[in-house]
């Protein structure tokens, strides 16, 4: 059986477990591989999954492999969306190809470059890597917390990770959400940003939860 097909099945099982819909019958029904029954048997034989009636679970090795596949896929999606600004309807297919070829070292470099994003563009969690635990800084992150921006810089909000979910509604009400372009005017004693023609003051703790990518420099028109 092709390795990529086995990996795709492990990835599917991971997603089904996230959705708490990981029964054996659901596993069969959600796969678009015509030979999913054979793939499941091979995953069992290789010691990557274990089945007890309708219950399907990973072995330790199977979980490790699935976790890596999902991490690579979702980081690739974030790379294509945030760096290359590709359309949403194309990033999934390209990420499917990338997930099978990225090495662990390169995956960690991409993660560090992107600022260790917690979720993919669709809001699904990206499994943490060793680089996230070490907070490596050898490579300057493309996406940084607003508090790490330099005063005067303009950036686009990539994602917000609020410690209190109710903060999202308050930020949305003042025009601060993913995709918004903002300019950092001040960092102390409060963080002050410009959104369109409006100036907004933010608590530093909230500003730490807003992650932005530096906007490209505009060429003056004459």
Residue 86 sits in a domain whose CATH number is: 1.10.10.10
pLDDT single digits (tens) 107-154: 998 998 888 888 998 889 999 998 887 754 444 577 888 998 889 999
Q: What is the pLDDT of residue 135?
A: 59
**How many structural domains compose the chain?**
3
**71 and 54 inside one domain:** no
Report the pLDDT value the prediction gives residue 90, as an integer from 0 to 100. Answer: 84
* Contact present, 61 and 47 (Cβ < 8 Å): yes
Dist. CA 199–CA 109, nearest whole Å: 35
Reply yes or no on whether the pLDDT at 94 is more than 80: yes
Q: Tell me, yes or no, whether 102 lies in a domain.
A: yes
40, 68: one domain = no
* Region at 175 (left for phi over 0; alpha for psi -120 to 50; beta for the rest): left
Three-state SS letters, 36-90:
HHHHHHHHHHCCCEEEECCEEEECHHHHHHHHHHHHHHHHHHHHHHHCCCCCHHH
The pLDDT of residue 136: 47
Cβ count within 10 A of residue 21: 12
pLDDT at 140: 59
For residues 179 and 201, state if they share a domain. Answer: yes
Q: What letter does residue 103 receive in the DSSP assignment? A: -
Residues 21 and 76 in one domain: no
Residue 4 to residues 14, 33, 34, 199, 202: CA-CA distances in angstroms? 15, 12, 14, 50, 47
29 or 162, greater pLDDT: 29
- Among residues 99, 134, 169, which one ends one of the domains? 134
Domain encompassing residue 33: 3-58
Asked if the structure places residue 120 within a domain, the reply is yes
The sign of the torsion formed by the CA atoms of 28, 31, 36, 39 equals negative
Give percent above pLDDT 90 in the chain.
Answer: 52
Written as six digits, the tokens of 191 are 């963080």
In-domain check, residue 219: no
Are 69 and 110 within one domain? yes
Give yes or no for residue 214 having a pLDDT over 90: no
Identify which of 58-67, 94-103, 129-138, 206-215 has the greatest average pLDDT: 58-67
Q: Which residue has the higher pLDDT, 143 or 30?
A: 30
Q: Are residues 148 and 206 in the same domain?
A: yes
Q: Which residues pair with 42 in a beta bridge?
A: none
Average pLDDT for 177-201: 91
Indicate the DSSP class of residue 13: H
Instruction: Please check whether residue 221 lies inside any domain of the structure.
Output: no
Q: What are the pLDDT digits (tens) for 156-185?
A: 998 888 888 788 888 988 889 888 999 999
Residue 123 in domain: yes
What does the pLDDT read at residue 167?
A: 86
Residue 117 is assigned to a structural domain of this protein: yes
pLDDT (0 to 100) of residue 188: 87
């Amino acid at each position: 059986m092709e390795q990529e097909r086995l990996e795709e099945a492990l990835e599917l099982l991971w997603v089904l477990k996230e959705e708490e819909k990981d029964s054996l019958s659901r596993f069969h029904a959600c796969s678009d591989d015509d030979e999913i029954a054979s793939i499941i048997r091979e995953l069992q034989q290789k010691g990557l999954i274990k089945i007890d009636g309708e219950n399907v679970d990973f072995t330790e090795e199977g979980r490790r492999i699935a976790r890596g596949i999902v991490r690579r896929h979702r980081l690739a999606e974030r790379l294509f969306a945030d760096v290359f600004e590709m359309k949403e309807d194309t990033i999934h297919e390209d990420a499917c190809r990338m997930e099978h070829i990225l090495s662990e070292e390169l995956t960690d470099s991409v993660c560090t470059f992107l600022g260790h994003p917690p979720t993919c563009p669709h809001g699904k969690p990206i499994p943490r890597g060793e680089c996230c635990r070490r907070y490596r800084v050898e490579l300057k992150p493309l996406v940084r917390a607003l508090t790490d921006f330099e005063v005067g810089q303009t950036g686009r909000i990539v994602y917000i990770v609020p410690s209190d979910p109710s903060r999202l509604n308050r930020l949305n009400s003042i025009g601060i959400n993913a995709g918004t372009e903002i300019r950092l005017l001040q960092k102390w004693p409060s963080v002050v940003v410009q959104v369109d023609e409006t100036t907004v003051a933010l608590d530093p703790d909230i500003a730490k939860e807003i992650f932005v990518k530096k906007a490209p420099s505009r060429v003056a028109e004459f």
